[in-house]
Structure 1
């Protein structure tokens, strides 16, 4: 679509007179998912049912397909309007994505027949050419009202990338229309999309795309739609729960926000041993004090589907907004996460557990859609199984990954990943290339994508699932003051309710204590590094060699201190393989593109991870080598190095 996505479509929308939609009550059902992250197969899960701890599998796209089909059947029989929406981040998260680079996502998501999808931050993880291929390959509109793609050669002309889409309803029957007046007397629902305004700080590949302010772009789009005569407006967003709630308070005229990004499973799931999230379908009063906006989100990894029913008054205001998230469970339960036949509960217990599920309001036993299951198994799964490779170790007990420590419980996995990177960079083979020894490692929690389940660990479990981003490791000099500033910056930004916690810092060879002193802020009480067999205070003025993956080393995802430290000059080295031989790529400095993205200026040959013979996933290889050589029986480290004291 030419220039700003907004400009062309809004200009078309405002030509001619505004349509007069009928004054009549209207009820709309929205089914929704978000942050599915290529979890086409179901995920292992531990639940508590009827007082029993059980292991089963949740979700997966064939199960989403089956459940969505049931919701459509119910809506059709009741002659009620229904939309199926995706809150973004369909990409990344599993080996399927690594092997198929978005093509499988386009194939499978189209089979689910979504009505619209928001652009998530991970949709920008490859390059704009492959993002354009994905958007052109799906049979539903991808929405981002605050994105100006006019200068991008791949995204500028895409008809399927839009600020919003209009649907006219005649009972259950719906028709996608270009103008409100084409609907006649049928009710019209507009679905607008919003992408993160700070995407250039999160994604390294945005090119010349321009991301506008979320609130301003949303209000401008809503105003144009109201002038056209639209009474019912849904925003499908990928901003995170906190920003969705801000949007609801500050923008007048959005009726429902279907969100993503913060992976928030809204609702009380304490009956299943999963804790209590924020309320589902919470209503917020708009800035004008008159309108109300309902906010929903549906967790992560295709494990649940949300369903919200919204009732409007004749003049288009929200009068009721009710619903909930439903976990989609397999019908078989086990006493051990390895789910061997010997771990399966007997038939009587299986029946008792099934009855407990039937009595619960937030979980359902759902079969997989057989056609989609067969399609995945025939077209994609054989290559996935082949790609996982050799066994490198074993996990005796579940190792969980928690992005943000809660009640003293942080990630089991992230400290191991950080330890592996510190170990690997300091091996003789790598030191022969760098000529340096690292003092400690820093790791953003979002770089780790999975737990580690009991059983075998294969290479692909690491390279395709747990650390799928193929990041080159970087070695860079930072002062103690810069390290402390980085920790404060990323910790404080991770504390607010609903915040994106992928930037939270885990460590190896370093330890710190952070004490919260006020709402979402605090100070570092202690910061030490391990030197010559003992812990020593970090010297603010001393220089340290720090190993970080290249994504965060460039200041992405809010690690701004690192960008600022390298704007003029840096001694940073990026590590990758070229034709099977480890090579160092010295960096001169960092800068920002016109669109706000980070540009890495190399001293000699630039590091191009897409070039033939170049392999950049030294972050994942470090973990593979660490497990194989140091920790073949992998358990959690005695200490994570992180103490987070909340008020």
Structure 2
């Protein structure tokens, strides 16, 4: 990274700047979301901390000057978070030797208190240049804009940043103030430059498209390691995996015309990013070699980490038997003659209730996503998981009224029928939705509505191409389907199912 230095800084830079070429290997992950154990896709196992640690240790022996980083969203996603609130993950991150982490939006899901508990135990710096926590006593002095790492005698600056949408999709509270990203990041880079640091990495939890915009606007970055959007970059064609949405790395020109590599390691630790950069004696990049390494069954699981995970697993069994609410009557998943579905009503209402925090006006669930029924009486966590077992996240999609109607027809035509939340209704004639209304008013074809779906449908599952290909803005909130359902059952206890005429046949 090269920026022009003022005369007053020349003497400092002469002593602090790099004096030798160096090659550094950045190992990185993002959006691990409490996926301590492997994820099973099409019967095959990917990721998991034990497998990740085994690979990290192997690369430490074979690669030069390894730096281990996390691009945010350690919190939220599995029962491990529900039980340990990030501390199980933290014990592994400390043991594995992570050297810095940027905050993700989900690190605020339990408010400043939950993050403070995590920060107290972290053996590495937590970073975010675009927030001001000086007014939050629990976090003051625990979150830094940047860190300086010593790598074989060379100083590497690491700047953190997280999405400015955090107040809308998580719970940072009124005492955590957000600063516009570009000036905040540029200010941190300038401070590092003034201290003679000439190799600077941005750990960004802003999403792939925003990372490209930041790299174009900020001077002085040598690498952007991203997260938040769960974007598969450079991933191979594997059964059950999404198609890669860009190259790894993606290069963007900064304001000075320098090529800045952008990388992201998809999600849940299913891949580990390896980005190796060679710098000359002046700190300029001379070579970039990067790839996402698939954490599949060919990589052995480290026995020490397996024992650690087994210990954390024991209380999970008890959680499955814990009560989360009750239902006044049985909630079935077969539709009535009109096409309305009691379980569909429950799930769609839960989706809207959580989605409304991000501005959603309507919620939908798909028939195929309703995997079990609930008997009258107490509902346990295990029973709730049986209803919503897939680990889908909640996604907000902007759709026109015309697109909503077409989405309903896509479902009716190809088996992915959508069940709506309270206040929305539609009429079916033959095998087509012919009219729909929200709060008693017909949908306006050109009006933009914010609609909440589970990620399976938002990404085109059950042949929902209209929803997948919609050009409006979309936001993956990261809220898991099981957590959305459990929250709703706890809030509406006992839950009383009833038919309301949300779907009608003519």
Same-fold status (TM-score > 0.5):
yes
What is the match of residue 84 of structure 1? Answer: 68
SS in structure 1 opposite 2:295?
A: strand
Distance 1:222 1:70, change over 3 A: same
For residues 624 and 281 of structure 1, what CA distance do their matches in structure 2 show? 51
Distance 1:250 1:37, change over 3 A: same
What is the match of residue 443 of structure 1? Answer: 363
Candidates 143, 146, 161, aligned match of 1:164: 146
Answer whether contact 1:95 1:460 (CA < 8 A) is retained: no
Alignment of 1:219-618 (within 5 A): 219-270=186-237, 274=241, 275-289=243-257, 291-330=258-297, 365-378=298-311, 380-389=312-321, 419-422=345-348, 442-443=362-363, 458-459=382-383, 461=385, 502-504=395-397, 511-513=404-406, 530=425, 537-538=435-436, 542=440, 617-618=487-488
Answer whether contact 2:52 2:272 (CA < 8 A) is retained: yes
Distance 1:317 1:238, change over 3 A: same
Distance 1:626 1:108, change over 3 A: farther
Answer whether contact 2:103 2:205 (CA < 8 A) is retained: yes
Alignment of 1:114-125 (within 5 A): 114-125=98-109
**Shift, 1:268, TM fit:** 4.2
**Shift, 1:213, TM fit:** 1.1
Candidates 20, 40, 51, aligned match of 1:63: 51
Task: State how many pairs are aligned.
Answer: 399
Deviation sequence 1:320-348 (CA, Å, 0-9, x none): 21111111112xxxxxxxxxxxxxxxxxx
For residues 56 and 538 of structure 1, what CA distance do their matches in structure 2 show? 42
**Shift, 1:273, TM fit:** 6.2
Answer whether contact 1:305 1:327 (CA < 8 A) is retained: yes
SS in structure 2 opposite 1:22?
A: coil
For residues 70 and 125 of structure 2, what CA distance do their matches in structure 1 show? 11
**Shift, 1:529, TM fit:** 5.3
Answer whether contact 1:39 1:301 (CA < 8 A) is retained: yes
Distance 1:467 1:303, change over 3 A: closer
For residues 269 and 370 of structure 2, what CA distance do their matches in structure 1 show? 18
Candidates 77, 83, 86, aligned match of 1:93: 77
Distance 1:127 1:377, change over 3 A: same
- Verify: 1:73 aligned to 2:61, yes or no: yes
SS in structure 1 opposite 2:16?
A: coil
Distance 1:387 1:271, change over 3 A: closer
Distance 1:419 1:101, change over 3 A: same
Distance 1:169 1:101, change over 3 A: closer
Residue segments in structure 1 that go unaligned for 5+ positions in a row = 1-13, 47-54, 171-185, 331-364, 392-414, 426-439, 470-500, 515-526, 545-551, 555-614, 631-638, 640-647
**Shift, 1:237, TM fit:** 1.1
**Shift, 1:533, TM fit:** 7.0
For residues 236 and 363 of structure 2, what CA distance do their matches in structure 1 show? 30
Distance 1:74 1:200, change over 3 A: same
What is the match of residue 149 of structure 1? Answer: 133
TM-score by length of 1: 0.54
Deviation sequence 1:606-629 (CA, Å, 0-9, x none): xxxxxxxxx9712589999899x9
RMSD over aligned Cα, in angstroms? 4.3
SS in structure 2 opposite 1:368?
A: coil
SS in structure 2 opposite 1:189?
A: strand
SS in structure 2 opposite 1:151?
A: coil
SS in structure 2 opposite 1:502?
A: strand
Report the more deviating stretch, 262-271 or 56-65: 262-271
**Shift, 1:464, TM fit:** 9.5
SS in structure 2 opposite 1:326?
A: strand
**Shift, 1:506, TM fit:** 9.8
Distance 1:72 1:626, change over 3 A: farther
Answer whether contact 1:419 1:441 (CA < 8 A) is retained: no
Distance 1:315 1:96, change over 3 A: same
SS in structure 2 opposite 1:314?
A: coil
TM-score by length of 2: 0.69
Answer whether contact 1:444 1:504 (CA < 8 A) is retained: no
What is the match of residue 166 of structure 2? Answer: 199
